[in-house]
C-alpha cells in the first residue's frame, strides 16, 4: 500500500512540475499577470469554451489599464500583451525582422497539409508565398474582376427584393455568407458555386463545416493546445474538410490541365507560379558567413496550392460576410447614419446612370466610413499574433523576452480603448472622415493588421 501511495504521490508531483514548469517567467521579468493554474495557465475559460480567444485576451488587456506590458500563460507558454501603440509599431513594422513569425503552428513541419498556408506559415516559405501571391490582390486585379462582383450583387438584390415582397424574415448573415461564397467561387476558382440560389450548395456546406467544430474537433484542438509536442501528428484541420478541399482543388486543376486558363483568378495565379518552377528568394532565417541572406528555393506542389485555396476560401467568405453583417446591423440601429449613407449611394449611382461600378464604389466615401467604424467596433480578427524570432529588448524598458515568446496585439481592445477613441462604444462613422484623420492615433486601428504580415486581401474585403 505504501509503495502504491508513493508512486501515486510521485506521479502527481511530476505532473505538477511539468504542468507549471514555466510559471515563473513573468514573475522573474517583473511583468504583472494573473495567477496561472497547472496545465491550463490562464486559459481555463477558453478551454471549456466559456470565452472565445478574443474575449479572453480583451479581458486580460482591460484588467491592467496602467501597464505597458501584461503577461499571460496559454497552457504552459508565456505570452506578452503589448498595450502601447509605439510597441505595436515596433512589433508589426519597424522590428519586423525580430517578429516575422506568428507561431500559430507549434511545428512548421506539421504533416497536416492544409495548415501550410499564408496565415499560419512562418519564415522562408511564408515569404516566398507572400511575394508570389501579392499580385493576385492588387487594385488592377480587383477592377478586372468587378463585373463578377456586380453579377452576384444583382442576384443578391433580386433575392432580397423577393423576400421583401413576401414579407419574409431573412438571416442577413446567411445571405451575405452565401453571396461571399459565390463571389469567391467565381473570382477565386472560376466556377459558379450557386450558393445564393441553393442553400444546400456543397460549397456553402464546406464553408459552414470549416467553422463549425464537432466534439472530436474540440477534443483534438484542446489536446494540441495542452500537449503540443505529444500531438504533433494529430491533424489541425478536420479530415473531412481536408478531403473535400483537396478533391475540389485537384478537380479544378485537372480540368485546366494544370495550366493557367486565362481567367486570371486565384487558381490561375497559383498555376502560373507553379509553371515558372521553383520559388526563389532571400532567406529570412539564414545568413551567409558575410552576413548576406542565403538564397532559398521551394517548389509549389499540389498540397501547397490546396492549402492556399483553403485559407482563401475560409478567410474570404467569413470575414467579408461578418464585416458586412455588422455594418448593416449598426446602420439598422442608427437610422440617421443609414439615411445619410443611402443618400450618398443614390447620388453617386445617379452620376453613373444607376449602374454599379468600381469607380462608383470608390466615390462612396461615407459608406466606407460606416464600414470602417463597424470594423473598429467589431473587427473580424480581434487579436494579432507574432512571435520573437530571437531575444529582444523593448526600447525604453527593462524588459527582454526570449526567442519563441509570443507577443499579442489586442486590436479589438485597443479599438475600444477610451485612451484612443472618444466614446469608443458609440457608432460614429465621422471618426473616419478625412478631416478627422489626425484624431486617430497611429497603430491603434488595425482591422487588417499592419506591416509585412497585414491582411493580403484587404482591398477585396473592403470593396465586396
CATH code for position 153 = 1.10.630.10
Separation between Cα atoms, residue 71 and residue 83, nearest integer Å: 11
pLDDT of residue 342: 96
> Is the confidence at residue 441, as pLDDT, over 90?
yes
Average pLDDT across the chain, whole number = 87
Separation between Cα atoms, residue 412 and residue 55, nearest integer Å: 9
Question: Is residue 429 in some structural domain?
Answer: no
Question: Is residue 130 in some structural domain?
Answer: no
The β-bridge relationship of strands 384-387 and 293-298 is: unpaired
> Is the confidence at residue 202, as pLDDT, over 90?
no
Separation between Cα atoms, residue 456 and residue 453, nearest integer Å: 8
Average pLDDT over every residue of 266-284: 88
pLDDT of residue 52: 86
Q: How confident is the model at residue 12 (pLDDT cuts 50, 70, 90)?
A: low
Closest CA to 97 of 406, 451, 456: 451
Question: Is residue 343 in some structural domain?
Answer: no
> Is the confidence at residue 34, as pLDDT, over 90?
yes
pLDDT of residue 204: 75
Question: Is residue 27 in some structural domain?
Answer: no
Average pLDDT over every residue of 79-106: 94
Question: Is residue 298 in some structural domain?
Answer: yes
Question: Residue 2: which residues within 8 A CB-CB, separation 6 or more?
Answer: none
Q: What is the percent of the chain with per-residue pLDDT over 70, rounded to a whole number? A: 92
Question: Is residue 200 in some structural domain?
Answer: yes
Q: What pTM does this model have?
A: 0.89
Closest CA to 401 of 391, 386, 389, 412: 391
Alpha helices in 256-334 (DSSP H): 266-275, 302-333
The β-bridge relationship of strands 384-387 and 77-82 is: unpaired
DSSP-derived letter for residue 320 is: H
Separation between Cα atoms, residue 325 and residue 175, nearest integer Å: 9
Question: Is residue 415 in some structural domain?
Answer: no
Separation between Cα atoms, residue 445 and residue 439, nearest integer Å: 12
Q: Is 455 annotated as a binding residue?
A: yes
What are the CB-based long-range contacts (under 8 Å, 24+) for 338-344? 340/366, 341/366, 341/367, 341/370
pLDDT of residue 17: 60
Query: Kind and range of the H or E element at 89?
Result: helix 85-89
pLDDT of residue 352: 92
- CA distances 311 to 37, 177, 211, 248, 460, Å, are 34, 15, 12, 14, 15
Q: How many domains does the chain have?
A: 1
pLDDT of residue 108: 65
Q: How confident is the model at residue 257 (pLDDT cuts 50, 70, 90)?
A: confident
> Is the confidence at residue 16, as pLDDT, over 60?
no
The β-bridge relationship of strands 279-287 and 293-298 is: antiparallel
pLDDT of residue 9: 66
DSSP-derived letter for residue 37 is: B
**Structure confidence by residue, pLDDT tens digits, 320-379:** 888 899 999 999 999 999 999 999 999 999 999 988 888 999 999 999 999 999 999 999
- For the ranges 166-170, 260-264, 369-373, which has the lowest average pLDDT? 260-264
**Which carries the bigger pLDDT value, residue 137 or residue 53?**
53
Start-to-end CA distance of the chain, whole Å, equals 70
> Is the confidence at residue 115, as pLDDT, over 90?
no
Q: How confident is the model at residue 258 (pLDDT cuts 50, 70, 90)?
A: confident
Question: Is residue 279 in some structural domain?
Answer: yes
Average pLDDT over every residue of 173-190: 82
**Which carries the bigger pLDDT value, residue 21 or residue 96?**
96
pLDDT of residue 340: 97
Q: Do 388 and 95 contact (CB within 8 A), yes or no?
A: no
Q: How confident is the model at residue 255 (pLDDT cuts 50, 70, 90)?
A: confident
pLDDT of residue 457: 77
**Structure confidence by residue, pLDDT tens digits, 38-77:** 888 888 887 777 788 899 999 999 999 999 999 999 988 9
Q: Do 337 and 312 contact (CB within 8 A), yes or no?
A: no
Separation between Cα atoms, residue 447 and residue 2, nearest integer Å: 60
Domain range for residue 298? 136-316
Amino acid at each position: 500500500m505504501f509503495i502504491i501511495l508513493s508512486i501515486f504521490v510521485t506521479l502527481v508531483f511530476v505532473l505538477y512540475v511539468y504542468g507549471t514548469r514555466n510559471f515563473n517567467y513573468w514573475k522573474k521579468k517583473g511583468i504583472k499577470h494573473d495567477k496561472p493554474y497547472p496545465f491550463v495557465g490562464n486559459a481555463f475559460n477558453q478551454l471549456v469554451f466559456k470565452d472565445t480567444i478574443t474575449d479572453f485576451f480583451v479581458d486580460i488587456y482591460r484588467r491592467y489599464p496602467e501597464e505597458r506590458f501584461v503577461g499571460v500563460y496559454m497552457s504552459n507558454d508565456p505570452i506578452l500583451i503589448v498595450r502601447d501603440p509605439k510597441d505595436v509599431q515596433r512589433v508589426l513594422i519597424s522590428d519586423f525582422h525580430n517578429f516575422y513569425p506568428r507561431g500559430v503552428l507549434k511545428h512548421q513541419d506539421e504533416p497536416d497539409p492544409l495548415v501550410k498556408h499564408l496565415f499560419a506559415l512562418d519564415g522562408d516559405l511564408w515569404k516566398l508565398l507572400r511575394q508570389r501571391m501579392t499580385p493576385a490582390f492588387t487594385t488592377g486585379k480587383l477592377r478586372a474582376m468587378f463585373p463578377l462582383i456586380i453579377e452576384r450583387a444583382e442576384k443578391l438584390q433580386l433575392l432580397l427584393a423577393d423576400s421583401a415582397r413576401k414579407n419574409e424574415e431573412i438571416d442577413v448573415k446567411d445571405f451575405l455568407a452565401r453571396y461571399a461564397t459565390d463571389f469567391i467561387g467565381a473570382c477565386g476558382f472560376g466556377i459558379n458555386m450557386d450558393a445564393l440560389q441553393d442553400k444546400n450548395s456543397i460549397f456553402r456546406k464546406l464553408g459552414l463545416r470549416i467553422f463549425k467544430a464537432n466534439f472530436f474537433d474540440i477534443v483534438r484542438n484542446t489536446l494540441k493546445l495542452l500537449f503540443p509536442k505529444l500531438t504533433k501528428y494529430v491533424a489541425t484541420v478536420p479530415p473531412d474538410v481536408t478531403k473535400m478541399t483537396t478533391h475540389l482543388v485537384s478537380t479544378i486543376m485537372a480540368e485546366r490541365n494544370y495550366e493557367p486558363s486565362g481567367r486570371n483568378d486565384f487558381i490561375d495565379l497559383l498555376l502560373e507560379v507553379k509553371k515558372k518552377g521553383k520559388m526563389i528568394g532571400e532567406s529570412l532565417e539564414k545568413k551567409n558567413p558575410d552576413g548576406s541572406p542565403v538564397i532559398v528555393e521551394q517548389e509549389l506542389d499540389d498540397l501547397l496550392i490546396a492549402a492556399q485555396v483553403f485559407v482563401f476560401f475560409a478567410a474570404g467568405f467569413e470575414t467579408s460576410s461578418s464585416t458586412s453583417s455588422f455594418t448593416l446591423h449598426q446602420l439598422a440601429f442608427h437610422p440617421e447614419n443609414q439615411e445619410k449613407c443611402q443618400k450618398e449611394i443614390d447620388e453617386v449611382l445617379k452620376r453613373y446612370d444607376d449602374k454599379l461600378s468600381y469607380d462608383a464604389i470608390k466615390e462612396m466615401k461615407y459608406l466606407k466610413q460606416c464600414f470602417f467604424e463597424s470594423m473598429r467596433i467589431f473587427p473580424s480578427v480581434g487579436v494579432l499574433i507574432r512571435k520573437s524570432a530571437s531575444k529582444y529588448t523593448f526600447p525604453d524598458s527593462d524588459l527582454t523576452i526570449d526567442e519563441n515568446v509570443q507577443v499579442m496585439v489586442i486590436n479589438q481592445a485597443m479599438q475600444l480603448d477610451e485612451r484612443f477613441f472618444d466614446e469608443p462604444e458609440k457608432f460614429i462613422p465621422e471618426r473616419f472622415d478625412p478631416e478627422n484623420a489626425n484624431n486617430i492615433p497611429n497603430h491603434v486601428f488595425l482591422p487588417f493588421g499592419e506591416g509585412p504580415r497585414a491582411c493580403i486581401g484587404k482591398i477585396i474585403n473592403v470593396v465586396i
